[in-house]
Amino acid sequence: MYMHEYDEDFVRKRLIILGFLILVTFGVWVIPFIDGDLSAKVSGDNQYLKVSFLDVGQGDAIFIETKDKVQALIDGGPNEAVLRQLSSQMGLFDRTIDVVIGTHPDKDHIGGLVDVLDRYKVSMILKTDNVNDTSVSKLYEEKIEQEGAEVIYARRGQKIKLGEFTTIEVLYPETEVKDVESNASSIVVKVVYGDTSFMLSGDSPKQIEEYLVLTSGEHLKSNVLKAGHHGSRTSTSELWLTEVDPDYAVISASSDNRYGHPHQEVIDLLFNYGVEILSTAERGTIEMYSDGLDVWYK
């Protein structure tokens, strides 16, 4: 009996010691990994505004994530390719997007938004009241109705707060644009974070750009310009470029597109103005960051 009790007590003590050693070992190997991960989150992307021009082929899709983790998607490219790009930008189990903007109802801008509305829960949708007669435009409108999100028709002067630090300012359209040509109905927004900003103009043609120069003037100044209409000669007028005065111009287009985008006239103009050109056809997805003072890319 004595030996049995001794054995139990001995085993119990050994198990306690063994358990302690396991915990110490676990701490030695696991805690640095956790600390490293937390350190990365503190010193990494979360302290910046991140604007990603997604590689969706011949189309536009711009994903925004703010310092305080508010997310917006402006356009979705022509098809489900946007879902693959979003999965690389968002967390594995993240299935919500705070704001979706479809700049105008052409397939290369809203085709992928049909798939986005199927996959993600969206809180707010900003849209143009221009609707064309294509099957993808009709399907997009149906998906919007089914989504149950707050739907807002874009009008100049609106400001959408993306968390505490970032604002989307709507510059165009001013009034109803049901009956205008599709590209000319494009929603134009300026994303502002601190002293930095991004000018995103969909496929707006030169006449809309020049109208905005007359109505907005110096307020157009931005660090980054998404070249209108994928770098087509129908957009990026010299007057517009002078007022926006960007450091960077992003061209979202596929390398083998049948339209010849970007057109050489636009490339030459940007080069002559000392603007650094970034192309999704050459770089794939372009991730840009702002700390409120400066903008850079990687």
Whose tokens are 């000319």? That residue is: 184
Write down the pLDDT at residue 260: 87
Distance of CA 45 to the CA centre of its chain: 14
Element (DSSP H or E) covering residue 127? strand 121-127
The token pair that represents 219 in the structure block: 């307020």
Element (DSSP H or E) covering residue 298? none
Question: Which residues does the chain have with pLDDT short of 70?
Answer: 1-45
Number of H helices, E strands in the chain: 8, 15
The pLDDT tens digits for 195-246 are: 999 999 999 999 999 999 999 999 999 999 999 999 999 999 999 999 999 9
How many degrees, rounded to 5, is the angle at CA 167 between CA 191 and CA 177? 70
Residue 260's Cβ-count burial label (10 Å; 0-12, 13-18, 19+) is exposed
Write down the pLDDT at residue 161: 97
Write down the pLDDT at residue 33: 26
Write down the pLDDT at residue 280: 97
Write down the pLDDT at residue 92: 82
Element (DSSP H or E) covering residue 285? none
Write down the pLDDT at residue 9: 53
Residue 197 Cα distances to 31, 50, 148, 212, 233, angstroms? 39, 12, 30, 16, 24
User: Following CA atoms 201, 217, 288, 45 in sequence, which dihedral angle do they give, to the nearest 10 degrees?
Assistant: -120
Q: How far apart are CA 153 and CA 177, in angstroms?
A: 10
The token pair that represents 148 in the structure block: 């149950």
Q: What is the DSSP string of 56-83?
A: -SSS--EEEE-TT--EEEE---SSTHHH
The pLDDT tens digits for 58-88 are: 999 999 999 999 999 999 999 999 999 999 9
Write down the pLDDT at residue 47: 85
